[in-house]
Amino acid sequence: MDTRYLAQQVCIGGQCVTGALDPSIKTVADLVNRIVQFLIPLAALILLLVFIWGGYDYMMSQGSPEKLKSAQAKLTTGIIGFILLLLAFIIVRLISQIFGLGGGII
């Protein structure tokens, strides 16, 4: 892999341009670490909102079968999302252990 594309500073003819990434990001693993640290809490927040939305719809359904079905579908989607989020977390941890990235990710 050509690492020039991941460089944080490029100098051409004595003129240097510094990249927008944090200077502590030196490898692809560091970049993935930063992305995962942002995405997992964001996904958890969205999951919480789905549960609140489904619970609200369930309470406000007033026994209407159509509204109950819609609310149950939202709650089921939230449960599936929780399982997928948990699996993503476990897979990232497992891959980081396999490749020796240790405690760097999450």
Instruction: State yes or no: pLDDT of 7 exceeds 60.
Output: no
What mean pLDDT comes out for the span 86-98?
A: 84
pTM for this predicted structure: 0.64
pLDDT of 30 reads 74
For the chain, domain boundaries: 24-104
Q: Is the pLDDT of residue 62 over 80?
A: yes
Whether residue 46 has pLDDT greater than 70: yes
Name the pairing type of β-strands 15-18 and 9-12.
antiparallel
pLDDT at 1: 45
pLDDT-derived band of residue 76, with 50, 70 and 90 as boundaries?
very high
Whether 43 contacts 33, CB under 8 Å? no
